[in-house]
Amino acid sequence: MGFPYLEAVVGFMIFMYFFETFLDIRQLSALKLPRLPPPLVGVVSQEKFEKARAYSLDKSHFHFLHAFVTIIEDTAIIVVGALPWLWEKTGGIVDKLGLDPSNEIYRTLAFLALTTIWSQVTELPFSLYSTFVIEARHGFNKQTIWLFFKDLLVSMGLMVVLGPPVVAAIIVIVQRSGPYLAIYLWAFILMLSLLLMAIYPILIAPLFNKFTPLPGGPLREKIEKLAASLRFPLKKLFVIDGSTRSSHSNAYMYGFWNSKRIVIYDTLIQQCKNEDEVVAVIAHELGHWKLNHTMYSFIAMQILTLLQFGGYTLVRNSKELFESFGFQTQPVLIGLILFQDAIMPLHHLVSFGLNLVSRAFEFQADAFASKLGYRIPLRAGLIKLQEENLSAMNTDPWYSAYHYSHPPLVERLAALDVGEKKDS
């Protein structure tokens, strides 16, 4: 008798559901606290605290329901053998379309189309409720139902255009590669990632948002001066119309080598009291660039991707793995899916480790901005972002350690204060 892959995967899924629910319960207890954490007393207004508390509680209650439905659905799909049944049905679907049912690429695309439609349909009620009830109730949602479905259709259209050639290429690589399969797959994904990084801001992002150059004035002058002082190769400075969809705010940078862009959400500019707070947030983002955080993260992801493909090559011909889940054949895409399920425990460990690194990077970027002289406006900017985004003020330490890629506000402010004392 072979290894019970299916039972192990389902068992771990259920274990993680109960573990994460335990953390969610701890977080819910923290969110119910009626008082601000001591470090934020007198820093965050009581009115903003009450609004953030109500928003966080609404999202928490909704999450409990969503997580419960998701684990039931995912477990049922695996246990009843829905995936192998669906794979068998794709042969008839491809044949009815007048295509060769023995062609694995055609069958894989049909399989992906059906599973994507299923996931979109089952997730749609949750997305609608989250956007038009919870986000709207707390003043964040700005999009109409038409814009919501337009974004959904554009996203699916992009999947239809970009998905088939990528899937076909992966199948061909796996079928034709020899002992260096992992390297070929990794090289393909690397080139695809670089291509998407290049075309996303130019061709894809404008399909969802409008990018306009930041008008001339004190804010633009200060950002350009800051970038020049750090020798950041700033080529373009944009404002994005984030307010057409949400009141949440952000800023980010992108681009290769000597052609960098900075994008600022219009909501960020509206929410901050003055230009210095916006510039401080940009200084934090430039800190990630100056300290090579983006490069380190990219390299780490490439190493992890190569290791995953290396592991996949060890089991891609494992009849035992496929049969455990009810498959009588060994399609390439199915093998990749089953392998990802089988190494789920490693995924969780890696994700936790990456969150630890990400939080360390956030502290370093804050310290970088502080050393540039932006400690006070950065502190004010972080508080303003926390207030305007109605982020949770009270957080359970276990929950935040497991889930958060950014440290809670209390920890970031404390680190800035410690840094000031050390500098002085």
Binding residues for Zn(2+): 284, 288, 362
Strand residues in 289-387 grouped as ranges (E): none
Closest CA to 159 of 108, 98, 112: 112
Tokens matching residue 412: 């970031």
CA dist., res. 46 & res. 330, Å (int):
59
Q: Which amino acid is at 157?
A: G
Closest CA to 375 of 383, 366, 384, 388: 366
CA dist., res. 16 & res. 344, Å (int):
10
Tokens matching residue 351: 């994700």
CA dist., res. 12 & res. 16, Å (int):
6
Q: Is 10 helix (H, G, I), strand (E, B) or coil?
A: helix
**Active-site entry in 135, 277, 341, 366:** 366
Closest CA to 361 of 415, 322, 302, 423: 415
CA dist., res. 315 & res. 300, Å (int):
23
Mark whether 417 is an active-site residue: no
Long-range contacts of 411-417 (CB under 8 A, 24+ apart): 412/362, 412/363, 412/366, 412/382, 413/39, 413/40, 413/43, 413/379, 413/382, 413/383, 414/39, 415/363, 415/366, 415/367, 416/366, 416/367, 416/370, 416/375, 416/378, 416/379
Binding residues: 284, 288, 362
What kind and span of H or E run contains 235? strand 234-240
Phi, then psi, of 196 in degrees rounded to 5: -65, -35
Mark whether 411 is an active-site residue: no
**Quick count: other Cβ atoms within 10 Å of Cβ 40?**
19
**Active-site entry in 135, 285, 388, 411:** 285
What Cα–Cα distance (Å) separates residue 407 from each residue in 30, 345, 398, 404? 16, 24, 12, 7
What does the angle CA 57 – CA 16 – CA 307 come to, to the nearest 5 degrees?
120
- Name residues whose C-beta falls within 8 Å of residue 268's C-beta, 6 or more positions apart in sequence: 249, 250, 251, 278, 281, 385
Catalytic residues: 285, 366
